[in-house]
């Protein structure tokens, strides 16, 4: 039974694994580019999820063949994912552009270094009391 389930739903299992891997990379990594890589993996897992949804087993591409009783796959989720891929590319491009600007402005793209710098920065010229705000709650 359980092996059957794995064989039947292996693409969904991969989706879940990729999703969790992507989220974990975003949360655990200090490097801003690696975070973006995690985001890409996370988004790609959703693409695979949609594509799996639209697949009908034994179905062909939705082009009229003229033969009766042809089984077609559902094209709509695939089209949606084309849009989502474009959105994903745009997000990644903007993210990478920001990383370049962050590197220029701070000379680092490591989160822990930047956090340390941010505190210093705040004390030096503008006195933003981040620590105070944290301790208030």
Partner 1 sequence: MLILDNIPALLVAIPLLASAVVSLLPSARIAWGFAFFTTLICLYMAVELVGIISSTQALSYAFGGWEPPWGIVFVLDSANVYLVLLVAFVSVIATLYAYTMLAREIAVEDLPKAYAVWLLAIASLFGLAMTGDAFNLFVFLEISALSSITLIALGAGQDRRALLAAYNYLIIGAIGATFYVIGVGYLYAATGSLNLIDITDRLNELGTNQAAITGLAFMLAGIMVKAGVFPVHIWLPAAYSFAPSAVSSLLAAVATKVAIYYFARLLFGIFIDITQLVDFFLLYILMPVSVLAIFYGTIAAIYQSDFKRLFALSSIAQIGYITFAFSLNSHSGISAGFIHIINHALIKGALFMAVGIFALGIGSRATMSSMQGVGRQMPITFAGFVLAGLALIGVPLTAGFISKLYLFKAIFETGNGFYVALIALSSVLSVLYLWKIFEVMWLKEPVQPLKSDKEPASAYLPVWLMVGVIMIFGVYSGEVISSGIGAANALIGAR
Residues engaged in binding partner 1 (CB under 8 A): 23, 26, 32, 35-36, 39, 42-43, 46, 49-50, 53, 76-77, 80, 83-84, 87, 90-91, 94-95, 98-99, 101-102, 105-106, 114, 118, 121, 126-129, 132-133, 136-137
Measured from the CB atom, the residue of 27 and 58 that comes closer to partner 1 is 27
- Shortest distance (Å) from residue 99 CB to partner 1: 7
d(CA 35, CA 22): 9
d(CA 119, CA 130): 7
What is each CA distance from 52 to 55, 78, 81, 88, 108, in whole angstroms?
5, 9, 11, 19, 40
What is each CA distance from 76 to 79, 103, 137, in whole angstroms?
5, 41, 47
Phi, psi of 31 (to 5 degrees): -85, 130
Measured from the CB atom, the residue of 60 and 121 that comes closer to partner 1 is 121
8 Å CB contact between 41 and 18: yes
- Shortest distance (Å) from residue 46 CB to partner 1: 5
Measured from the CB atom, the residue of 68 and 100 that comes closer to partner 1 is 100
- Shortest distance (Å) from residue 54 CB to partner 1: 9
Measured from the CB atom, the residue of 6 and 113 that comes closer to partner 1 is 113
């Amino acid at each position: 039974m359980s092996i059957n389930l794995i064989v039947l739903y292996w693409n969904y299992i991969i989706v879940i694994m990729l999703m969790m891997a992507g989220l974990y990379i975003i949360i655990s990594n200090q490097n801003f580019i690696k975070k973006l890589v995690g985001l890409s993996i996370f988004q790609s897992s959703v693409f695979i999820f949609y594509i799996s949804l639209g697949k009908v087993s034994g179905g062909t591409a939705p082009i009229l063949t003229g033969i009766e009783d042809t089984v077609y796959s559902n094209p709509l989720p695939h089209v949606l994912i084309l849009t989502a891929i474009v959105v994903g590319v745009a997000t990644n491009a903007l993210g990478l552009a920001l990383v370049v600007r962050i590197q220029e402005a701070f000379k680092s793209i490591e989160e822990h270094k930047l956090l340390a710098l941010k505190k210093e920065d705040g004390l030096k010229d503008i006195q933003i009391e981040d620590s105070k705000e944290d301790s208030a709650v």
